[in-house]
Structure 1
Amino acid sequence: MISLSSVIRSPGGRLRNATAAFLLGTTILSGAATAVLPADAFAAGPVAVPGVSQELPGSFANLVDRVMPAVVNVSTVQGAAAAPERPGVPGMPEFPPGSPFEEFFRQFQEQQRGARPRQQERQQALGSGFIIDAGGYVVTNNHVIDGADEISVTLHDGTKLDAKLVGRDAKTDLALLKVDAGKSLPYLEFGDSDTARVGDWVIAIGNPFGLGGTVTSGIVSARGRDIQAGPYDDFLQLDASINRGNSGGPTFDVQGRVIGINTAIFSPNGGSVGIGFAIPSNLAKGVIAQLRENGSVSRGWLGVQIQQVTPEIADSLGLKQPKGALVADVTANSPASRAKLMAGDVILGLEGRPVDTIKDLTRMVADSKTGSTVKLDVLRKGRQETVSVKLDEMPDQQKVASATPAPEKSGTHTVLGMTLSSLDQASRRRYGLADGVDGVLVVGLEDGSGELNLRPGDVITEVGNEHVGAPDQVAAKVQEAKDAGRGAVLLRVNRQGTEQFVAVSIKKA
């Protein structure tokens, strides 16, 4: 099991703070542990609740009998080089390091036996999985098999088979294995996780603590959970009891269709407290299909840096609700730049599907086929437009877009509690600003302006999606926003080479 009780380690090794969460991972047999309601919804009066007793299942036994044969145990063996043992001969005394007798007896023992070779400490770990094809394809979690030298799968009837790793995807924590049983195997089908509602019954089956096939039941507690495990987090939260060793096992709806893959738990003590997380089947299906076909996952790439639309940003842009993905920067030579997307655009939809959060856009683009053309619904300077973009394959590295040329500069000004100055070579040297960065420099903040998300050294490059190069231009754009009845104004800020948008309340002026 990979413990996340105090820290989450990302696939690339980066550490992030977390609160008592755990990847369900694997049960280690030897060695250390491893890897919003509308306002009218609250109108006065009692809430009518239809009877639900007829929906409660009398038993899950028939369902379990049908699906259990396709759930498997996954075991791995990982060899780790151990420290070399001190040479010795049975019956001979051992002396502490540095002892004057140590060298003498070492030479004697080597003459008798020679130094023992380095040994391999073999760790065995257990997880879960399920068969998705009669030919023997098995789905599990990536962290179950991560670093394994040997992988085996034990079927429901006890047959143990060697497994081949077909492909893995660390970003979604999924892996696909293949076993050869010499016969057709029972298998499961993916269901539609989008139809799973909070309160629906679910059944989880897995191999907790190496006990073998274990069935637990519960409900969908929540949807769309982001537990900071990866860039495409969209977990189903379950209260069915799942523990160490359940990782990779299936979560079923009451029709016996797989709607989730058990992956993590939230726990203060490492045991189940009724808060588990499963990868939704609709996210897994596309990944598994690519792993089966190509052994790897190719994701669409747009080439933009985005940030969430906050209520303040929405107000500054005239949006009725804080929804969408605000383009903070466009990567040079990217699909977005070729499609003429601009910083300050707000992406509200992709192929007719709404983009409410930046996670929505990230997942939609990643799920789109490389080379495909998608239509984006974009809000640009108060007008809604449709932009067609041909997606590229996501690269390993992304280049930052170059800066925009600056207009003529003028003197200093105090606006919205900020002391602003034109850029010159002296200020560039003082704040370490590159020559390519142009705009208006923040050199100070008035008392009482601490809540502004700005600091000296920031460079304001745009106000209200219009480039500025002098403090009086900033003042003029702020006045325009006030005259238009806006409660906030949107600033585009370059902070040490990173572009971002900051909404500032005009009431502070």
Structure 2
Amino acid sequence: MVAGKFAVVVVLISLCQSVLAATLADTVKQIKPAVVGVGLVAPLATVSHQLKGTGFVIGNGKYVVTNTHVIDMQVPEDVKYQRTVFAGHGKKGQILPVQKIYRDEEHDLAILEIPTALPALPLYNENDPIPDGTDIAVTGFPIGGVLGLYPATHKGIVAAYTPNIIAAKNTSQISEQFLQRLRNPFMVYQLDVVAYPGNSGSPVYRADTKEVFAVVNKVFVKETKESAITRPSGITYAIPASHISALARKHNIPLQ
């Protein structure tokens, strides 16, 4: 009798896992067309097309969300370049110039305006945070241009909803802004999911819906920057989508 009950439980767990996998697969198909690369085009540089991070489309299709640290890439002063959104996948891509940038430096967010409408994603607009343990996924370009314009998806869970406090490694990092963040930290999601530097700006969404509830903004690195690729920690932080909505409202950017 016990063995029979155990078998039923195993079957139910297997069915739940199959349903979740099918749901996530369907969700990813809807997510991918709205995920774009963010970088620059510098015709006279050694590498003319440079993918620096990830973004995703919102609103009427002409606005892309990413991180400010993605668009503030280091470029030699003598190199002329255009900030660019790379849309499409593989060899069927579009290069769209960034026409305007709306920034929220405090939350490491930027909304980029582009000339052509692309498929867009809805934002989670509830006040309550996504509960710990919720199945989630992240889609983006984990290793940037190394893999080309092929978005990859990683799944995980929400590990915690926690204050955005990262200890300074040395006294040179302690500034007035740093102290202000310590006094008034905002909340971020800690995710148990493998992500890489190129995932900055990637949408974070529930496995059973395409509503974006957060944006990847940093990956915890255990040792060196290089080890983020070879030995990822599996700890990722993401900014709640409520800050995207606030930035959009500030600049009258339509979200529908």
TM-score normalized by the length of structure 2: 0.70
Q: What corresponds to 2:236 in structure 1?
A: 276
Q: Which letter maps to 1:151?
A: R
SS class of match (1:252) = strand
2: CA distance, partners of 1:76 / 1:200 = 35
- Summarize the Cα distance change of 1:122–1:66 in structure 2 as closer, same or farther, 3 Å threshold: closer
Q: Which residues of 2 match residues 117-266 of structure 1 at below 5 A? A: 124-146=50-72, 149-157=81-89, 158-181=93-116, 184-191=117-124, 192=126, 194-210=128-144, 211=147, 212-228=150-166, 230=181, 232-253=185-206, 254-266=208-220
CA RMSD in angstroms comes to: 2.9
Runs (4 or more) in structure 1 with deviation over 6 Å come to: 119-123
Q: What corresponds to 2:249 in structure 1?
A: 289
Q: Which residues of 2 match residues 111-122 of structure 1 at below 5 A? A: none
Over alpha carbons, which structure has the higher Rg?
Answer: 1
1: CA distance, partners of 2:201 / 2:45 = 27
2: CA distance, partners of 1:78 / 1:232 = 37
1: CA distance, partners of 2:87 / 2:153 = 16
SS class of match (1:194) = coil
Q: What corresponds to 1:73 in structure 2?
A: 37
Report which stretch shifted further, 250-259 or 150-159.
150-159
Q: What corresponds to 2:172 in structure 1?
A: none
- Summarize the Cα distance change of 1:150–1:280 in structure 2 as closer, same or farther, 3 Å threshold: same
Q: Which letter maps to 1:255?
A: T
Work out which structure has the larger RCO, using CA pairs closer than 8 Å and 6 or more positions apart in sequence: 2
Contact kept, 8 Å, 2:61 with 2:119, in 1: the verdict is no
- Give deviations 1:125-156, integer Å, cap 9, x for gaps: 51000000234111100000115752111112
Q: CA deviation at 1:171?
A: 0.7
**Structure with more of its chain in helix, by fraction:** 2
Structure 2 spans left out of the alignment, 5+ residues: 1-9, 76-80, 167-177
Contact kept, 8 Å, 1:176 with 1:291, in 2: the verdict is no
Contact kept, 8 Å, 1:225 with 1:237, in 2: the verdict is no
Q: CA deviation at 1:160?
A: 1.5
Paired residues, number: 203
SS class of match (2:161) = strand
Residue identity over aligned pairs, in percent, reads 30
Q: What corresponds to 2:221 in structure 1?
A: 267
- Summarize the Cα distance change of 1:66–1:122 in structure 2 as closer, same or farther, 3 Å threshold: closer
1: CA distance, partners of 2:127 / 2:199 = 19
SS class of match (1:58) = helix
Contact kept, 8 Å, 1:133 with 1:186, in 2: the verdict is no
Structure 1 spans left out of the alignment, 5+ residues: 1-50, 80-118, 294-509
Q: CA deviation at 1:267?
A: 1.7
Q: Which letter maps to 2:187?
A: D
Contact kept, 8 Å, 1:130 with 1:139, in 2: the verdict is yes
- Summarize the Cα distance change of 1:262–1:170 in structure 2 as closer, same or farther, 3 Å threshold: same
- Summarize the Cα distance change of 1:193–1:145 in structure 2 as closer, same or farther, 3 Å threshold: farther
Contact kept, 8 Å, 2:165 with 2:185, in 1: the verdict is no
- Summarize the Cα distance change of 1:209–1:64 in structure 2 as closer, same or farther, 3 Å threshold: same
